[in-house]
């Protein structure tokens, strides 16, 4: 079976190659492709015979990063079932709503979320869940230990020959910044084309990739992790992002590829072992989620000789869409680069008409790595794709004469002050140029006179004595007056999502109420 059984095929080509290092385990696990394939076959047998899981059924997982996520994904692939990873940062009532929408039969979970699972067991919205499997600990009443379930399955191969490339492999949830997260349907076709795009631009057979993204997120499961497995590289997992552990693992495991968001790269430079960290095995680092501040690129280049690629991806498309080569990290600072090989991109106006260079409009995409819409949400699926097949991202962007694209802002992040459109990303770029700024976020707040005015929330570098007045001078010296935020709040930290992105809506809500 060439569709779905990723491990079965890879185990034929490189059975003895190191596939996964789970550094979050005590003791840690080191597994070859042959060993990973046996685990997936055993789990697939158990899911099929004991839990009644078949083609098209959803299998949910609510767990910290670990090999169990991969076991579950690959077992689902063998069965034609749909891997459905829940965000463990959500409230159990939010998870109950998501469960009602996606109706999984089974839930695999980390023991630390047992209270959440117990609430789901007694909630009508989660009535589809009939089987529970805990990764460690005792679990809720009636739950089965993951290792026992796997041990109870047979070693023989499991395949589903009727599976096609258009069948859904996984449901990955959007950020939920405008309501309940939508479940993007990731097809096997989408996985194959994303892997091809990623290999063309990034990966080699002997790469070692350290994943620090949560595996419920497209960045964790699909940006590099699955392409690495298909290509036959090595994946290093850790339970959650820890700057000291990350730097130690890069040296110990001779990691060649690393990816993070700007927040993570900032935190790595403040780790206790940053000065002594040896990062010479890295071929490159990739940054996504937001533009990487030039001073940070320069610090990594100067102190660790790191080459940075920057990119842009989405849950609903790719997720690898754009790439900016390391040679352009300074010359094209702020750009997300050019579209990946099998991705087409346009900038369109409010009438969906294409715009030329240096014109701000909505970024729209077309290509075979698009998702199959949103699960059980035909209205949202139809709204995202226009009549010509272009996916509307909701991002405001522009491209230059060399076809390098730059995200100006999210449509929903843009605010209008006194009739003028204001793009927070432009203001944040100016703030990041100040040497004392560690993190920042600009949001629009309601104002009776101007409609909306800007608020800049700033976290300073440790030991800094910089004042709000100094930062205001920085902005006034570099921005048009209408773009300068009305006020600045210096905070000890900013709210961060599971994907490492700054939660601007929380800041808006907090300071609007204040």
The pLDDT assigned to 175 comes to: 54
**pLDDT value at 76 more than 70:** yes
Q: What is the pLDDT of residues 378-390, one digit of tens each?
A: 999 999 999 999 9
pLDDT at 369 over 50: yes
81 closest CA partner among 111, 113, 109, 103:
103
Question: pLDDT band at residue 251, thresholds of 50, 70 and 90?
Answer: very high
C-alpha separations of 21 from 33, 129, 136, 234 in Å: 11, 31, 18, 8
Q: State pLDDT tens for residues 385-410.
A: 999 999 999 888 999 999 999 988 76
Measured in whole angstroms, how far is the alpha carbon of residue 220 from the centre of its chain? 6
pLDDT tens sequence across 119-154: 999 999 999 999 999 999 999 999 999 999 999 888
> Order of strands, edge to edge, in the sheet holding 131-134?
144-145, 131-134, 106-109, 58-62, 82-85, 168-173, 183-187
Distance CA 82, CA 184 (A): 12
Q: What tens digit of pLDDT does each residue of 145-172 get?
A: 999 999 988 889 999 999 999 999 999 9
| Whole-number Å distance between alpha carbons of 451 and 457 | 20
The band of 472, judged by pLDDT with boundaries at 50, 70 and 90, is: very high
Q: In the prediction, which pLDDT does 469 show?
A: 96
Does residue 419 register a pLDDT over 70? no
Helices marked H in 335-423 — which ranges?
Answer: 378-384
pLDDT at 480: 74
Name all domains of the chain by residue range, CATH numbers in brackets: 34-187 (3.40.50.12780), 241-410 (3.40.50.12780), 415-513 (3.30.300.30)
Q: Does the structure show a pLDDT above 60 at 176?
A: no
If you write DSSP's letter for every residue of 290-339 in order, what string do you get? SPPPHHHHHHHHHHH---EEEEEEETTEEEEEEEE-GGGTTTTTT--BEE
pLDDT reported for residue 177: 38
**b/e burial code for range 78-106 (CB count within 10 A of at least 16 → b):** bbbbbbbbbbbebebeebbbbbebbbbbb
pTM, entire model: 0.83
Q: What is the pLDDT of residue 421?
A: 67
Cα–Cα distance, 194 to 342 (Å, whole number) = 9
Residue 461, CA distances (Å) to 62, 263, 441, 492 in order: 34, 13, 15, 10
Residue 351 CB partners (closer than 8 Å, separation 6+)? none
Report how far Cα 97 is from the mean position of its chain's Cα atoms: 22
pLDDT at 477: 87
Closest CA to 181 of 102, 252, 260, 65: 102
Average pLDDT (65-82) is 98
Question: Binning pLDDT at 50, 70 and 90, where does residue 411 land?
Answer: low
Pair 230, 205: CB distance under 8 Å: no
Mean pLDDT of 246-262: 96
Burial bucket for residue 309 (CB in 10 Å: 0-12, 13-18, 19+): buried
Lowest mean pLDDT, pick from 294-303, 331-340, 497-506: 497-506
* The two three-digit tokens of residue 248, written as one number: 């130690």
Chain centre distance of CA 311: 12
Q: Confidence band (pLDDT; 50, 70, 90) for 178? A: very low
Q: What is the pLDDT of residue 483?
A: 87
CB 224 within 8 A of CB 203: yes
Per-residue pLDDT band at 514 (split at 50, 70, 90)? low
What DSSP designation does 110 have? -
Pair 237, 67: CB distance under 8 Å: yes
pLDDT value of position 29: 98
Percent of the chain clearing pLDDT 90 (strictly above): 76
> Radius of gyration over alpha carbons of the chain, in Å?
23
User: What band does 108 get if pLDDT is binned at 50, 70 and 90?
Assistant: very high
Residues 47-72 pLDDT 10s: 999 999 999 999 999 999 999 999 99
What was the pLDDT predicted at 466? 96
Mean per-residue pLDDT of the chain: 92
DSSP-derived secondary structure for 242-290 = -HHHHHHHHHHTT--EEEE-HHHHHHHHTSTTTTT---TT-SEEEE-SS
Angle between helices 262-269 and 294-304 (to 10 degrees): 50
Angle at 188 between CA 183 and CA 190, to 5 degrees: 70
Cα separation of 255 and 474, whole Å?
Answer: 39
Q: What is the mean pLDDT of residues 189-214?
A: 94
């Amino acid at each position: 079976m060439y569709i779905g059984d990723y491990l079965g095929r890879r185990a034929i080509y490189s059975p003895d190659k190191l596939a996964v290092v789970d550094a979050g385990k005590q003791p840690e696990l080191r597994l070859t492709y042959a060993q990973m394939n046996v685990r997936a076959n055993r789990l697939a047998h158990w899911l099929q015979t004991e839990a009644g899981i078949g083609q098209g059924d959803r299998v949910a997982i609510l767990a910290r990063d670990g090999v169990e996520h991969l076991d579950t994904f690959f077992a689902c692939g063998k069965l034609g079932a749909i891997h459905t990873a829940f965000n463990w940062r959500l409230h159990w009532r939010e998870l109950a709503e998501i469960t009602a929408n996606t109706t999984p039969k089974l839930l695999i979970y980390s023991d630390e979320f047992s209270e959440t699972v117990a609430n789901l067991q007694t909630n009508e919205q989660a009535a589809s869940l009939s089987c529970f499997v805990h990764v460690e600990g005792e679990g809720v009443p009636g739950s089965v230990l993951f290792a026992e379930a796997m041990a109870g399955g047979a070693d023989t191969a499991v395949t589903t020959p009727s599976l096609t490339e258009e069948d859904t492999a996984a449901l990955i949830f959007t950020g939920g910044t405008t309501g309940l997260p939508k479940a993007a349907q990731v097809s096997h076709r989408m996985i194959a084309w994303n892997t091809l795009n990623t290999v063309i631009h990034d990966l080699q057979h002997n790469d070692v990739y350290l994943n620090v993204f949560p595996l419920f997120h497209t960045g964790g499961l699909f940006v590099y992790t699955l392409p690495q497995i298909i290509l036959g590289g090595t994946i290093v997992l850790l339970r959650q992002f820890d700057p000291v552990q990350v730097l130690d693992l890069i040296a110990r495991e001779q990691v060649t590829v690393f990816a993070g968001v700007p927040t993570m790269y900032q935190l790595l430079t403040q780790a206790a072992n940053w000065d002594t960290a040896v990062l010479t095995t890295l071929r490159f680092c990739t940054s996504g989620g937001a533009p990487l501040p030039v001073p940070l690129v320069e610090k990594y280049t100067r102190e660790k000789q790191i080459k940075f690629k920057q990119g842009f991806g989405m849950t609903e498309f790719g997720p690898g869409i754009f790439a900016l080569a390391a040679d352009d990290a300074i010359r094209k600072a702020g750009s997300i680069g050019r579209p990946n090989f099998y991705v087409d991109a346009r900038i369109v106006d409010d009438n969906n008409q294409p715009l030329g260079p240096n014109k701000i409009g909505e970024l729209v995409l077309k290509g075979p790595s698009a998702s199959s819409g949103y699960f059980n949400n035909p209205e949202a699926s139809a709204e995202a794709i226009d009549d010509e097949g272009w996916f509307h991202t909701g991002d405001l962007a522009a491209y230059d004469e060399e076809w390098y694209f730059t995200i100006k802002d999210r449509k929903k992040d843009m605010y209008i002050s006194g009739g003028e459109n204001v793009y927070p990303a432009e203001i944040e770029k100016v703030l990041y140029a100040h040497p004392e700024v560690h993190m920042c976020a600009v949001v629009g707040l309601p104002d009776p006179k101007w409609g909306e005015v800007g608020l800049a929330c700033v976290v300073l570098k440790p030991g800094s004595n910089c004042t709000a007045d100094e930062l205001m001078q920085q902005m006034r010296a570099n921005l048009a007056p209408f773009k300068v935020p009305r006020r600045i709040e210096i905070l000890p930290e900013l709210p961060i999502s599971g994907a490492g992105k700054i939660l601007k809506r929380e800041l808006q809500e907090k300071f609007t109420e204040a």
